[in-house]
Amino acid sequence: MEKHIGMTPIVKMITRIICGPMLVFGAYIVLYGHITPGGGFPGGVMVALAYILITLAYGRVVVESKVSGIAASVVDDIGALIFWSVGMIGLFIGGNFLLNFLEKGEPFHLLSAGTLIINNIAITLKVGMCLYAIFLALAILQRVVIEKPKEEEE
Amino acid sequence: METIIILHIILVFMIIGSIITVEIKNMLSAVISVGAVGFALSLAFLFLEAPDIAITQVIVEVLALVILIRATINVDNVAIEKREHILSDRTALIFVGMILVFAWFAFRSLPPFGEPSMRVSQYYLTHGLREVGATNFVTSVILDYRGYDTLGEAIVLFTSISGSFAILRRLKKEQHKDFLRIDREH
């Protein structure tokens, strides 16, 4: 019975190969967002797309055993809290909300530009898990739409 | 000059795609032509030398296409034909004409294409590297100079996910009730 959940074995195999590189590329886009084109939003959508690919290939049960909707919601909130607390720390240290209070560092180095890396990671958690949770919600909604005509036939 | 010609070709392609999207009767074909318009838009951003927006546009377009196809593939996907009232066409024409008149006045005051007025942007370009330390000025603008906007965007996402979960919870309860009813009947 479990064999028939999700798509064909070809899609499952390609998903298994491609998901790791997708997550790594998402992390690369986020971590180098202040040096090269990219940033928190595209990286977060990339992470969400990796999970959505697993959802499409393996079905909702498999992906919810790894990251459930409630866990996604909690990570989403943590991202928002990190962004807000960075702003509040700047307010207490320098007197301005969202102040860049860390050291600037040298240009073209990974650890430069102060708080931008933290903010990028926060936005990634926020956007990625938010879009993934919305997709889970839509998947559940679609199942209801499909099941209703069957009840009428009975 | 070559960039302008390529941009015009892409724009004509996007306009044709948009008209097909509105006019076509099959829902799935409409979704696919929306995707074509989105990818053409990301190409246009690449030719305008804005790789940040191009990356975001491509990835968001893929996500939107997945969600839209999944939402429309099992639904009754033929548009309902309706006879429209004669007044609706005239009202639409009047409003399009008004928009064109006001856009003519608004666009005359804009700087010409390719020659932006570098008042704020010049400040970012000259002081950005020293003040923020990031070599990608787009990131330094959206996270440092305009951090409030990004925080507002995060709040919008937070509100949207709260709304989705509220709807999801209600649907789950109804589904549960339906299952209970079926069990009782059998």
Q: What is the pLDDT of residues A24-60, one digit of tens each?
A: 998 898 888 888 888 888 888 998 899 888 888 887 7
Chain A positions touching B62 (Cβ under 8 A) are: 49
* Closest in A87, A116, A138 to B71, CB measured: A138
What is the spatial distance between Cα A120 and Cα A30, in angstroms, rounded to a whole number?
Answer: 6
What is the spatial distance between Cα A100 and Cα A115, in angstroms, rounded to a whole number?
Answer: 6
pLDDT at A140 over 70: no
Task: List the Cα angle A141/A145/A146 in 5-degree steps.
Answer: 115
Would the CB atoms of A126 and B138 count as touching at under 8 Å?
no
B177 in reach of chain A (CB within 8 A)? no
Q: A91-132 pLDDT, tens per residue?
A: 888 777 877 777 777 777 777 777 888 888 888 988 888 888
As for the ipTM of the complex, it is: 0.77
**Phi, psi for B78 (deg, rounded to 5):** -120, 130
Provide the shortest C-alpha distance from residue B181 to chain A (in Å). 11
Q: Is A128 exposed, middle or buried (0-12, 13-18, 19+ CB in 10 A)?
A: buried
Chain A CA closest to residue B175: A144
Q: How many CB pairs under 8 A join A and B?
A: 150
Residues 6+ apart with CB under 8 A from A53: A15, A18, A19, A22
Chain A positions touching B138 (Cβ under 8 A) are: 37, 39
Q: Which residue has the higher pLDDT, A153 or A141?
A: A141
pLDDT at site A1: 43
What residues does each domain of chain B span?
1-82
B89 in reach of chain A (CB within 8 A)? no
B147: amino acid identity, one letter: G
Provide the shortest C-alpha distance from residue A116 to chain B (in Å). 6
B74 in reach of chain A (CB within 8 A)? yes
Chain B CA closest to residue A51: B63
Q: Which residue has the higher pLDDT, A50 or B165?
A: A50
B121 in reach of chain A (CB within 8 A)? no
Chain B positions touching A38 (Cβ under 8 A) are: 52, 55, 136
* Closest in B129, B143, B157 to A119, CB measured: B143
pLDDT at B166 over 60: yes
* Closest in B75, B148, B161 to A134, CB measured: B161
A16 in reach of chain B (CB within 8 A)? no
Instruction: Give start and end residues of each alpha helix (H) in chain A.
Output: 9-31, 40-58, 60-66, 69-94, 116-153
What residues does each domain of chain A span?
2-153
- pTM equals 0.78
CA-only gyration radius of chain B, Å: 23
* Closest in B51, B144, B164 to A134, CB measured: B164
A87 in reach of chain B (CB within 8 A)? yes
pLDDT at site B42: 92
B52 in reach of chain A (CB within 8 A)? yes
